[in-house]
């Protein structure tokens, strides 16, 4: 069950996967999106204000979980949402996503990125 009972409906919303032409920062986990990497580019209008969001391909997996199980999520708040849901659902996959996001998807004691979760 989702504890949040509202969904901030955008006036318009456009999401696509694009290839990075320069370095970006994922707005969910703060990790660097490298040149050539695929990331999700979203533009939308919420309450009359146009915003754009860049999300790394790792965090998109967490997003997809939220969409599938709760039908919604909020940009910029994905980490908190996943932690909350990990507590509610007590699912290992969710804890793994939460830890991954907190570590900016870096492997333990390494700068290498984790593989993208299934």
Summarize as ranges the residues that interact with Zn ion (CB under 5 A): 2, 26, 28-29, 56, 59, 70
For residue 27, the surrounding DSSP H or E stretch is: none
How big is the CA angle at 109 (ends 106 and 111), to the nearest 5 degrees?
45
Smallest distance, Å, CB 11 to Zn ion? 24
Smallest distance, Å, CB 88 to Zn ion? 7
User: Chain-centre distance of CA 96, in angstroms?
Assistant: 14
Smallest distance, Å, CB 81 to Zn ion? 7
- C-beta closer to Zn ion: residue 59 or 97: 59
- C-beta closer to Zn ion: residue 11 or 35: 35
Burial of 112 by CB count in 10 Å (0-12 exposed, 13-18 middle, 19+ buried)?
exposed
In the complex, which residue's CB is closest to Zn ion?
A: 2
């Amino acid at each position: 069950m989702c504890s949040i009972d509202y969904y901030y409906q955008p006036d318009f919303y456009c999401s696509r996967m694009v290839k990075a032409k320069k370095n970006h920062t994922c707005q969910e986990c703060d990790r660097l999106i490298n040149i050539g990497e695929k990331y999700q580019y979203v533009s939308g209008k919420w309450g009359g204000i146009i915003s754009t969001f860049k999300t790394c391909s790792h965090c998109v997996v967490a997003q997809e979980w939220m969409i599938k199980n709760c039908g919604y999520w909020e940009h910029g708040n994905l980490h908190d949402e996943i932690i909350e849901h990990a507590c509610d659902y007590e699912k290992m996959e969710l804890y793994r996503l939460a830890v991954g996001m907190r570590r900016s998807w870096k492997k333990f004691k390494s700068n290498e990125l984790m593989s993208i979760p299934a």
